[in-house]
Amino acid sequence: MTINDTAKYLIHAEITTSGVVERSDVVGAIFGQTEGLLGDDLDLHDLQQSSKVGRIDVRIASERGVSRGEMTIASSMDKVETAVLAAALETIERVGPCRSTIEVTRIEDVRAATRREVVERATTILSETFDDTVMSSEEMLARVRESVRVGEIAEYEGYPAGPNVADGGSVILVEGRSDVLTLLRYGIKNAVAVEGTDVPEAVAALTRDRTATAFLDGDRGGELIMKELAQVADVDAVAFAPPGRSVEDLSRDEVMDALRNKVPYEAVVEAEEPLARAAAVGGEASPEPTEPVTDDRETADDRSDDESAPPDATGVSGDVPAGAEPAVEGVAEPTDEESAKSEPETLRGHVEAVIGGGTNQVSLLTESFESIADAPAEAAFETVRDAERRPYAVVLDGVLTQRILDVAAQRGVEQVLAREFGEFTKRPTSVRIRTAEELEVPA
């Protein structure tokens, strides 16, 4: 049915004929039998040409020799003229060779129907579209902060990343874009997404010259990505979301806790249950935060807390005689001659004693150059990894390997002095490394 744009009324009528007729027969009968009936002013041909009457729509069907149907005529005339035209339709008695009756059933006010539609639609808009919630000041500020941080998301070689990924000294590998957004929301800007288990080469290449931490979901997918990273990337540490949860669902405190409890990558990558192993090692190792370590020294309060550790923190069992030093498994016992000597008070003094003395030992030092632990040089990796306190410096009478350097960076060591360097694929920016020769100490 077509209604012209200026129509005010719509005439509805029913038609019945005694024989089979078609639409064209009905339209022809209407024009033929009303011609001259209403005078020149209401001639149907003239009314259509002046757009006062619209198209005549007829829908008719025949069954058992009888045709029945409906017709509609749009009118833009006033009520009186429209009513006269409707009455004229009922005067039609024949359609083609068949007797017929036409009955006007109603005249619809098109504008009233439109008003009803407007009211119904307005009711729907009012109930469904308007947001009745009132945002509090805190919510408003949180939304603004979040939008600013989300606006900072960038791309690295086509993959979602924080703005510091391209130039930073460390990088955090996460699974997807939503994880990057979550870390951005909490102020962490050096995350990049691997976008699933197919780790892209561009992201893997990042890990070869940066300190890299994998921060993964606490589910099977996270474990699979971790195992693939072991094959294609050079990751230093791994952190997991709590079991069964995703990084994107964590609160700020949960994110920071997970990153603080990251563990050396080698400690979990070969485990049958990486999640459980990461939790266990993370609780034991108490690693440093994931952000690159700066040149700032520990505060006096931090050192005081470390030095107040209970005597049994070394894991020694049994009674220790008064005045005797506890014997730590895996750490060389000092000889009588060594005990008689006073401990060096400077870093250079320790380098001269350990490397210059050809001891084949490794020594871990505090910020005030007090000895934390001493062990054979071949046990340097385990000694640094398992130290109860965070070493400030490591003095090694041996070859400094990539493996030892990586664990030193993970533990927050700030200086490493070694007899000589091995082959390095990357150097963490947080650790200053030198040879004894650079200090003019003969090795």
CATH code assigned at 45: 3.30.70.260
Residue 378's pLDDT is what?
93
Residues 30 and 87 placed together within one structural domain of the fold: yes
Residue 123 is assigned to a structural domain of this protein: no
Residues 147 and 93 placed together within one structural domain of the fold: no
Report the CATH number at residue 362. Answer: 3.40.140
DSSP annotation of 159 reads E
Residues 147 and 248 placed together within one structural domain of the fold: yes
Give the phi and the psi of residue 95 in degrees, each rounded to 5.
-125, 110
Residues 280 and 227 placed together within one structural domain of the fold: yes
Using CA atoms, how far residue 332 sits from 309, 342, 360, in Å, is 21, 17, 11
Nearest to 384 by CA among 369, 368, 356, 400: 400
Residues 341 and 426 placed together within one structural domain of the fold: yes
Length of the chain equals 443
Per residue of the chain (443 residues), what is the pLDDT tens digit?
445 556 789 999 999 999 999 888 898 888 888 888 888 888 888 888 888 888 889 999 998 889 999 999 999 899 899 999 999 999 998 988 899 999 999 998 888 878 888 888 888 888 776 665 566 677 777 666 666 555 578 888 888 888 888 887 889 999 888 889 889 888 888 899 988 767 888 888 888 888 889 998 888 888 888 888 888 888 888 898 988 888 988 998 999 988 888 888 877 766 555 555 555 554 444 434 344 333 333 333 343 344 433 333 333 333 333 333 433 333 444 444 444 457 788 888 999 999 988 999 999 999 889 999 999 999 999 999 999 889 999 999 999 999 999 889 888 899 999 999 988 877 887 888 999 888 777 76
Residue 383 is assigned to a structural domain of this protein: yes
Q: Which domain holds residue 360?
A: 300-314+330-439
Residues 147 and 280 placed together within one structural domain of the fold: yes
Residues 273 and 308 placed together within one structural domain of the fold: no
Residue 265 is assigned to a structural domain of this protein: yes
Count of domains observed in the chain = 3
Contacts 24+ apart (CB under 8 A), 407-416: 407/264, 407/381, 408/384, 409/211, 409/236, 409/293, 410/236, 410/237, 410/262, 410/264, 410/287, 410/288, 411/287, 411/288, 411/384, 411/385, 411/387, 412/287, 412/288, 412/293, 413/384, 414/293, 414/295, 415/347
What is the greatest pairwise CA distance in the chain?
138
Residue 16 is assigned to a structural domain of this protein: yes
Residue 292 is assigned to a structural domain of this protein: no
The 10 Å CB-count burial string (b at 16+, else e) for 95-114 is bbebebebebeebbebeeee
Residues 280 and 143 placed together within one structural domain of the fold: yes
Residue 144's pLDDT is what?
67
Residues 58 and 158 placed together within one structural domain of the fold: no
Residues 236 and 337 placed together within one structural domain of the fold: no
Residues 144 and 278 placed together within one structural domain of the fold: yes
In this structure, what token pair is assigned to residue 196?
């699933």
Residue 266's pLDDT is what?
77
Report the CATH number at residue 273. Answer: 3.40.1360.10
Residue 196 is assigned to a structural domain of this protein: yes
Residue 121 is assigned to a structural domain of this protein: no
Residue 355's pLDDT is what?
93
Query: What is the identity of the amino acid at 317?
Result: S
The residue among 114, 131, 150 that closes a domain is: 114
Residues 259 and 352 placed together within one structural domain of the fold: no
Measured CA to CA, the distance from residue 118 to residue 192 in angstroms comes to: 51
Q: Which residues contact 133 (CB under 8 A, 6 or more apart)?
A: none
Residue 175 is assigned to a structural domain of this protein: yes
pTM of the model: 0.36
Query: Which H helix or E strand runs over 410?
Result: helix 402-411
